[in-house]
Amino acid sequence: MLTSTLVKIQPFELPKADSKTVAPTSIVVSIDKSGKYTLNSKNITQSSLIGAVSSKVKEIGARDATITIVAEVGVPWKKVSQLMTLASQLQTRAIIATQPPE
């Protein structure tokens, strides 16, 4: 699993990690504690997310696409895991955005 600290994201608290992996970002999926999803900074329903992410990956190409998962602290791990599984099914990379420890 990769984590990244170099993603411009919404102002909510992210998990902390020492990782400093730099990876290109082409698709950003954000999840906040209330369950709201955004895809590349645009609001999207959970039911539309799979199709929209699949379309973006197809547009970019699975070898070149990277899904960055930006999950606010407190988001159930199951939601993050579902996005990791989707990336795997689409045969593309996924990273989880984190913030450095204080």
The pTM assigned to this predicted structure is 0.78
Has residue 1 got a pLDDT over 70?
no
Domain ranges within the chain, ordered by starting residue: 2-97
Strand partners, 39: 29, 42
Q: What is the mean pLDDT of residues 18-45?
A: 85
Q: Are strands 93-97 and 66-71 parallel, antiparallel or unpaired?
A: parallel
pLDDT in tens, 53-79: 999 999 999 999 999 999 988 999 999
pLDDT at residue 18, as a whole number: 62
Q: Report the distance separating Cα 20 and Cα 45, nearest Å.
A: 31
Between 88 and 2, the more confident residue is 88
CATH fold of 2-97 reads Nucleotidyltransferase; domain 5 (3.30.420)
